[in-house]
Amino acid sequence: MAVTTTGLIRHFRTKKTTVEAVRGVDMDIGDGELVALLGPNGAGKSTLFRMLTTLLPPTAGTATVAGRDIIRDPDGVRARIGYVGQNHSAGDNFRVRDELVTQGRSHGMTRVEATRRADEVLDLLGLRPLAKRTPNTLSGGQRRRVDIAMGLVHRPALLLLDEPSTGLDPHSRAEVWEHILRLREELAMTLVLSTHYLEEADRMAERVVIIDHGLVIADGTADRLRKDLAGDRIALTLESKADMARIAGPFEAHGDTVHIRVPDAAAALPRHLRELDAAGVKVVAAQALRPTLDDVFLALTGRSIQEAA
Protein backbone atom coordinates (compact mmCIF):
# COMPACT_ATOMS: atom_id res chain seq x y z
CA MET A 1 0.00 0.00 0.00
CA ALA A 2 1.31 3.42 -0.91
CA VAL A 3 -0.98 5.20 1.55
CA THR A 4 -3.16 3.91 4.39
CA THR A 5 -4.98 6.27 6.71
CA THR A 6 -7.07 5.31 9.72
CA GLY A 7 -9.42 7.80 11.31
CA LEU A 8 -7.22 10.72 10.38
CA ILE A 9 -8.41 13.91 12.06
CA ARG A 10 -7.02 17.44 12.17
CA HIS A 11 -8.50 20.35 14.05
CA PHE A 12 -7.26 23.92 14.00
CA ARG A 13 -7.90 25.80 17.17
CA THR A 14 -8.11 29.56 17.06
CA LYS A 15 -9.04 31.83 19.94
CA LYS A 16 -12.76 31.63 19.36
CA THR A 17 -13.47 28.49 17.40
CA THR A 18 -12.18 25.08 16.47
CA VAL A 19 -12.12 24.33 12.76
CA GLU A 20 -12.47 20.64 12.00
CA ALA A 21 -10.54 20.61 8.74
CA VAL A 22 -10.25 16.82 8.44
CA ARG A 23 -12.85 14.81 10.33
CA GLY A 24 -11.85 11.18 10.10
CA VAL A 25 -10.46 9.97 6.80
CA ASP A 26 -9.98 6.26 6.12
CA MET A 27 -8.35 5.68 2.78
CA ASP A 28 -6.16 3.11 1.09
CA ILE A 29 -4.14 3.87 -2.01
CA GLY A 30 -2.37 0.96 -3.67
CA ASP A 31 1.05 0.99 -5.31
CA GLY A 32 0.95 2.36 -8.84
CA GLU A 33 -2.47 3.99 -8.54
CA LEU A 34 -3.28 7.41 -9.98
CA VAL A 35 -5.74 9.02 -7.59
CA ALA A 36 -7.33 12.46 -7.59
CA LEU A 37 -8.67 13.94 -4.37
CA LEU A 38 -11.49 16.12 -5.61
CA GLY A 39 -13.30 18.69 -3.54
CA PRO A 40 -14.11 22.38 -3.28
CA ASN A 41 -11.71 24.85 -1.68
CA GLY A 42 -11.70 24.38 2.06
CA ALA A 43 -12.79 20.74 1.86
CA GLY A 44 -9.68 19.65 3.77
CA LYS A 45 -7.60 18.34 0.86
CA SER A 46 -4.53 20.39 1.67
CA THR A 47 -4.70 19.60 5.37
CA LEU A 48 -4.88 15.93 4.47
CA PHE A 49 -1.85 16.35 2.19
CA ARG A 50 0.07 18.22 4.87
CA MET A 51 -0.49 15.36 7.28
CA LEU A 52 0.54 12.73 4.74
CA THR A 53 3.72 14.70 3.99
CA THR A 54 4.61 15.11 7.70
CA LEU A 55 4.20 18.90 7.58
CA LEU A 56 1.36 18.76 10.06
CA PRO A 57 0.80 16.30 12.90
CA PRO A 58 -2.72 14.84 13.01
CA THR A 59 -4.96 15.65 15.94
CA ALA A 60 -5.98 11.98 15.99
CA GLY A 61 -5.70 8.88 13.86
CA THR A 62 -2.77 7.31 12.06
CA ALA A 63 -1.38 7.00 8.57
CA THR A 64 1.27 4.97 6.82
CA VAL A 65 2.83 6.56 3.78
CA ALA A 66 5.28 4.66 1.57
CA GLY A 67 5.40 1.99 4.25
CA ARG A 68 6.36 4.35 7.10
CA ASP A 69 4.31 5.72 9.94
CA ILE A 70 3.91 9.50 9.64
CA ILE A 71 4.23 10.05 13.40
CA ARG A 72 6.78 7.43 14.43
CA ASP A 73 9.06 7.73 11.40
CA PRO A 74 8.56 11.08 9.67
CA ASP A 75 12.10 11.05 8.21
CA GLY A 76 11.35 7.63 6.70
CA VAL A 77 8.27 9.10 5.01
CA ARG A 78 10.16 12.19 3.85
CA ALA A 79 12.91 10.09 2.28
CA ARG A 80 10.42 8.06 0.24
CA ILE A 81 7.93 10.59 -1.08
CA GLY A 82 8.02 13.46 -3.51
CA TYR A 83 5.87 16.45 -2.66
CA VAL A 84 4.76 19.19 -5.00
CA GLY A 85 3.07 21.76 -2.77
CA GLN A 86 0.62 24.48 -3.72
CA ASN A 87 3.36 27.10 -3.61
CA HIS A 88 6.59 27.14 -5.53
CA SER A 89 9.25 24.70 -4.40
CA ALA A 90 12.26 26.53 -5.77
CA GLY A 91 13.45 29.74 -4.10
CA ASP A 92 13.15 32.92 -6.13
CA ASN A 93 16.81 33.86 -6.11
CA PHE A 94 18.28 30.46 -6.74
CA ARG A 95 19.08 28.98 -10.12
CA VAL A 96 16.82 26.11 -11.09
CA ARG A 97 19.67 23.64 -11.38
CA ASP A 98 21.21 24.72 -8.05
CA GLU A 99 17.92 24.10 -6.29
CA LEU A 100 17.63 20.65 -7.83
CA VAL A 101 21.16 19.85 -6.65
CA THR A 102 20.32 21.11 -3.15
CA GLN A 103 17.21 18.95 -3.16
CA GLY A 104 19.25 15.86 -4.10
CA ARG A 105 21.80 16.61 -1.38
CA SER A 106 19.00 17.14 1.13
CA HIS A 107 18.06 13.55 0.37
CA GLY A 108 21.59 12.38 1.12
CA MET A 109 23.08 12.26 -2.37
CA THR A 110 26.67 13.35 -2.94
CA ARG A 111 27.21 16.52 -4.93
CA VAL A 112 28.25 14.53 -8.02
CA GLU A 113 25.25 12.23 -7.76
CA ALA A 114 22.86 15.12 -7.13
CA THR A 115 24.24 17.08 -10.09
CA ARG A 116 23.83 14.14 -12.47
CA ARG A 117 20.33 13.51 -11.18
CA ALA A 118 19.44 17.21 -11.51
CA ASP A 119 20.35 17.08 -15.18
CA GLU A 120 18.25 13.96 -15.65
CA VAL A 121 15.10 15.53 -14.23
CA LEU A 122 15.76 18.74 -16.17
CA ASP A 123 15.70 16.66 -19.35
CA LEU A 124 12.71 14.64 -18.18
CA LEU A 125 10.60 17.81 -17.86
CA GLY A 126 12.09 19.64 -20.81
CA LEU A 127 13.74 22.23 -18.56
CA ARG A 128 17.35 21.97 -19.75
CA PRO A 129 17.35 25.40 -21.44
CA LEU A 130 16.12 27.00 -18.19
CA ALA A 131 18.71 25.37 -15.91
CA LYS A 132 20.59 28.57 -15.20
CA ARG A 133 17.56 30.81 -14.86
CA THR A 134 16.07 31.83 -11.53
CA PRO A 135 12.41 30.91 -10.99
CA ASN A 136 11.25 34.53 -10.81
CA THR A 137 12.10 34.86 -14.52
CA LEU A 138 9.96 31.86 -15.55
CA SER A 139 6.35 31.61 -16.69
CA GLY A 140 3.72 29.98 -14.47
CA GLY A 141 3.78 26.75 -16.44
CA GLN A 142 7.57 26.58 -16.45
CA ARG A 143 7.69 27.17 -12.69
CA ARG A 144 5.21 24.37 -12.16
CA ARG A 145 7.40 22.02 -14.16
CA VAL A 146 10.34 23.05 -11.95
CA ASP A 147 8.22 22.24 -8.89
CA ILE A 148 7.46 18.81 -10.27
CA ALA A 149 11.13 18.25 -11.10
CA MET A 150 12.00 19.12 -7.49
CA GLY A 151 9.70 16.34 -6.32
CA LEU A 152 11.38 13.76 -8.53
CA VAL A 153 15.09 14.26 -7.83
CA HIS A 154 15.38 11.45 -5.30
CA ARG A 155 13.33 8.96 -7.36
CA PRO A 156 10.39 8.61 -4.95
CA ALA A 157 7.95 5.77 -5.50
CA LEU A 158 5.08 8.04 -4.49
CA LEU A 159 4.48 11.61 -5.66
CA LEU A 160 1.91 13.83 -3.96
CA LEU A 161 0.80 16.90 -5.91
CA ASP A 162 -1.32 19.51 -4.15
CA GLU A 163 -3.42 21.29 -6.77
CA PRO A 164 -0.75 21.02 -9.47
CA SER A 165 -2.53 23.13 -12.05
CA THR A 166 -4.25 25.79 -9.96
CA GLY A 167 -3.59 29.27 -11.27
CA LEU A 168 -2.32 28.13 -14.65
CA ASP A 169 -3.76 29.19 -17.99
CA PRO A 170 -5.51 26.43 -19.96
CA HIS A 171 -2.54 25.83 -22.23
CA SER A 172 -0.02 25.47 -19.37
CA ARG A 173 -2.50 23.32 -17.50
CA ALA A 174 -2.80 20.91 -20.40
CA GLU A 175 0.98 20.81 -20.62
CA VAL A 176 1.37 20.02 -16.93
CA TRP A 177 -1.22 17.24 -17.23
CA GLU A 178 0.67 15.78 -20.14
CA HIS A 179 3.90 15.76 -18.16
CA ILE A 180 2.27 14.14 -15.14
CA LEU A 181 0.67 11.41 -17.25
CA ARG A 182 3.92 10.75 -19.07
CA LEU A 183 5.82 10.49 -15.78
CA ARG A 184 3.43 7.88 -14.65
CA GLU A 185 3.93 5.86 -17.79
CA GLU A 186 7.71 6.17 -17.81
CA LEU A 187 8.44 5.94 -14.11
CA ALA A 188 5.63 3.66 -12.91
CA MET A 189 5.02 5.84 -9.86
CA THR A 190 2.08 6.12 -7.52
CA LEU A 191 0.53 9.54 -8.04
CA VAL A 192 -1.87 11.28 -5.70
CA LEU A 193 -3.08 14.71 -6.68
CA SER A 194 -5.62 17.04 -5.19
CA THR A 195 -7.75 19.31 -7.30
CA HIS A 196 -10.91 21.32 -7.41
CA TYR A 197 -10.98 21.14 -11.19
CA LEU A 198 -13.51 18.57 -12.33
CA GLU A 199 -11.89 18.25 -15.70
CA GLU A 200 -8.57 17.47 -14.09
CA ALA A 201 -9.95 14.69 -11.94
CA ASP A 202 -11.89 13.33 -14.89
CA ARG A 203 -9.10 13.42 -17.42
CA MET A 204 -6.17 12.42 -15.26
CA ALA A 205 -7.24 10.01 -12.62
CA GLU A 206 -8.33 6.41 -12.72
CA ARG A 207 -9.75 6.80 -9.27
CA VAL A 208 -11.50 9.83 -7.83
CA VAL A 209 -11.89 10.36 -4.10
CA ILE A 210 -14.41 13.11 -3.42
CA ILE A 211 -13.81 15.07 -0.23
CA ASP A 212 -16.20 17.52 1.37
CA HIS A 213 -16.17 19.11 4.83
CA GLY A 214 -13.20 17.00 5.86
CA LEU A 215 -14.73 13.63 4.96
CA VAL A 216 -14.48 11.21 2.06
CA ILE A 217 -17.97 11.19 0.56
CA ALA A 218 -17.34 9.06 -2.52
CA ASP A 219 -14.57 6.91 -3.90
CA GLY A 220 -14.35 5.10 -7.20
CA THR A 221 -13.53 5.42 -10.89
CA ALA A 222 -14.98 8.51 -12.51
CA ASP A 223 -17.27 6.31 -14.63
CA ARG A 224 -18.45 4.32 -11.66
CA LEU A 225 -19.22 7.48 -9.66
CA ARG A 226 -21.14 8.97 -12.56
CA LYS A 227 -23.15 5.83 -13.13
CA ASP A 228 -23.89 5.12 -9.47
CA LEU A 229 -24.42 8.59 -8.12
CA ALA A 230 -25.68 10.81 -10.90
CA GLY A 231 -26.77 8.69 -13.84
CA ASP A 232 -27.39 9.56 -17.49
CA ARG A 233 -30.20 11.79 -18.69
CA ILE A 234 -31.76 12.57 -22.01
CA ALA A 235 -32.90 16.09 -22.78
CA LEU A 236 -35.84 16.61 -25.13
CA THR A 237 -37.02 19.97 -26.32
CA LEU A 238 -40.71 19.85 -27.20
CA GLU A 239 -42.49 21.94 -29.82
CA SER A 240 -45.33 22.59 -27.40
CA LYS A 241 -45.10 22.73 -23.63
CA ALA A 242 -48.57 21.31 -23.45
CA ASP A 243 -47.25 17.98 -24.73
CA MET A 244 -45.42 17.47 -21.43
CA ALA A 245 -48.58 15.96 -20.03
CA ARG A 246 -48.31 13.12 -22.50
CA ILE A 247 -44.87 11.93 -21.37
CA ALA A 248 -45.03 8.66 -19.49
CA GLY A 249 -42.94 8.33 -16.33
CA PRO A 250 -41.06 10.87 -14.22
CA PHE A 251 -39.15 13.82 -15.70
CA GLU A 252 -37.77 17.25 -14.77
CA ALA A 253 -38.90 20.28 -16.73
CA HIS A 254 -36.41 23.02 -17.61
CA GLY A 255 -38.42 25.55 -19.64
CA ASP A 256 -39.70 23.73 -22.71
CA THR A 257 -37.05 21.02 -22.28
CA VAL A 258 -37.59 17.86 -20.25
CA HIS A 259 -34.84 15.80 -18.62
CA ILE A 260 -35.48 12.11 -18.13
CA ARG A 261 -33.14 9.94 -16.03
CA VAL A 262 -32.07 6.76 -17.81
CA PRO A 263 -29.41 4.09 -17.19
CA ASP A 264 -27.74 4.61 -20.58
CA ALA A 265 -28.56 7.81 -22.45
CA ALA A 266 -27.16 6.80 -25.85
CA ALA A 267 -29.28 3.64 -25.98
CA ALA A 268 -32.40 5.19 -24.48
CA LEU A 269 -32.63 8.21 -26.75
CA PRO A 270 -33.90 6.50 -29.97
CA ARG A 271 -36.45 4.45 -28.02
CA HIS A 272 -37.85 7.55 -26.30
CA LEU A 273 -38.03 9.40 -29.61
CA ARG A 274 -39.98 6.54 -31.22
CA GLU A 275 -42.41 6.37 -28.30
CA LEU A 276 -43.05 10.12 -28.31
CA ASP A 277 -43.47 10.12 -32.07
CA ALA A 278 -46.08 7.35 -31.72
CA ALA A 279 -47.86 9.41 -29.05
CA GLY A 280 -47.93 12.39 -31.40
CA VAL A 281 -45.51 14.57 -29.44
CA LYS A 282 -43.28 16.73 -31.67
CA VAL A 283 -39.63 16.84 -30.50
CA VAL A 284 -37.56 19.68 -31.98
CA ALA A 285 -34.21 18.83 -30.35
CA ALA A 286 -32.82 15.82 -28.49
CA GLN A 287 -29.63 15.24 -26.57
CA ALA A 288 -28.01 12.43 -24.60
CA LEU A 289 -26.54 13.91 -21.40
CA ARG A 290 -23.70 12.17 -19.61
CA PRO A 291 -23.29 13.41 -16.05
CA THR A 292 -20.20 15.36 -15.08
CA LEU A 293 -18.40 14.92 -11.79
CA ASP A 294 -20.09 18.14 -10.76
CA ASP A 295 -23.43 16.34 -11.15
CA VAL A 296 -22.00 13.65 -8.90
CA PHE A 297 -21.00 16.24 -6.33
CA LEU A 298 -24.38 17.87 -6.65
CA ALA A 299 -26.15 14.55 -6.12
CA LEU A 300 -24.02 13.91 -3.03
CA THR A 301 -24.11 17.31 -1.38
CA GLY A 302 -26.84 19.34 -3.04
CA ARG A 303 -24.18 21.89 -3.98
CA SER A 304 -22.09 22.44 -7.08
CA ILE A 305 -18.32 22.16 -6.55
CA GLN A 306 -17.73 25.53 -8.12
CA GLU A 307 -20.34 27.19 -5.91
CA ALA A 308 -19.16 25.38 -2.82
CA ALA A 309 -15.66 26.74 -3.36
Partner 1 sequence: MKFLRDTMTVFSREATPALRDPVSLVFAMGQPLLFLLLFGSLLDTSTGTGTWQWFVPGILVMMCLVGPMGAGHSLLVELTGGSMERMMVTPLNRTAMLVGRNLKETITLVVQAVLIVAVAMTLGFRLYPGGVLAGLLMLTVFGVGLSSLSFVLALRSQPSGALFWVVTQTLMFPLTLLSGVLLPLEQGPAWLRAVGAVNPVSYIVDAQRALFAGRFDDTSVLHGGLVAVAVALIGLVVGTRSMRRGVTTGA
Shortest approach of partner 1 to residue 54 CB, angstroms?
A: 7
| φ, ψ at 152 (rounded to 5°) | -110, -10
Instruction: Give min distance, CB of 166 to partner 1, in A.
Output: 13
Beta carbon of residue 210, minimum distance to partner 1 (angstroms, whole number): 18
How far the first Cα of the chain sits from its last, in Å, is 31
Distance (Å, whole) CA 174 – CA 259: 32
Residue (106 or 287) nearer to partner 1, CB: 106
Nearer to partner 1, 113 or 199 (CB): 113
Task: Using CB under 8 A, pick the residue from 16, 75, 129, 255 that binds partner 1.
Answer: 75
Q: How far is the CB of 18 from partner 1 (least distance, A)?
A: 12
The full length of the chain comes to: 309
Please identify, using beta-carbon distances, which residue of 87 and 171 lies nearer to partner 1: 87
- Do 48 and 216 form a contact (C-beta atoms < 8 A)? no
Give the bridge partners for 37, in sequence order: 194, 209
Tell me which residues in 14-33 interact with partner 1 (CB under 8 A).
19, 21
Residue 8 or 56 having the CB closest to partner 1: 56
190 binds partner 1 (CB under 8 A): no
Tell me the per-residue interface mask from 132 to 171 with partner 1, x by CB under 8 A, - otherwise.
---------------x--x---x-----------------
Binding part of the chain for partner 1, among 92-100, 163-171, 189-197, 226-234 by CB under 8 A, reads 92-100
Cβ atoms of 154 and 107 closer than 8 Å: yes
Amino acid of residue 184: R
CA–CA distance, 303 with 298 (Å, rounded to integer): 5
Q: Which helix (H) or strand (E) holds 247?
A: none
**39, 40, 61, 85: which one binds partner 1 (CB under 8 A):** 85
User: Could you write out the DSSP letters of every residue in 52-76?
Assistant: HTTSS--SEEEEEETTEETTT-HHH
Minimum CB–partner distance for residue 190 and partner 1 (Å): 16
Task: Verify binding: residue 107, partner 1, rule CB under 8 A.
Answer: yes
- Establish if 185 lies at the interface with partner 1 (CB under 8 A): no
2/31 Cα distance (integer angstroms)? 5
CB atoms within 10 A of CB 17: 8
- Closest by CA position to 97, among listed 79, 114, 80, 75: 114
Q: How far is CA 295 from the centre of its chain?
A: 16
Least separation in angstroms between CB 273 and partner 1: 50
Residues making contact with partner 1 (CB under 8 A): 12, 19, 21, 42, 44, 46-47, 50, 53-56, 75, 78-79, 81, 83, 85-95, 98-99, 102-103, 105-108, 147, 150, 154
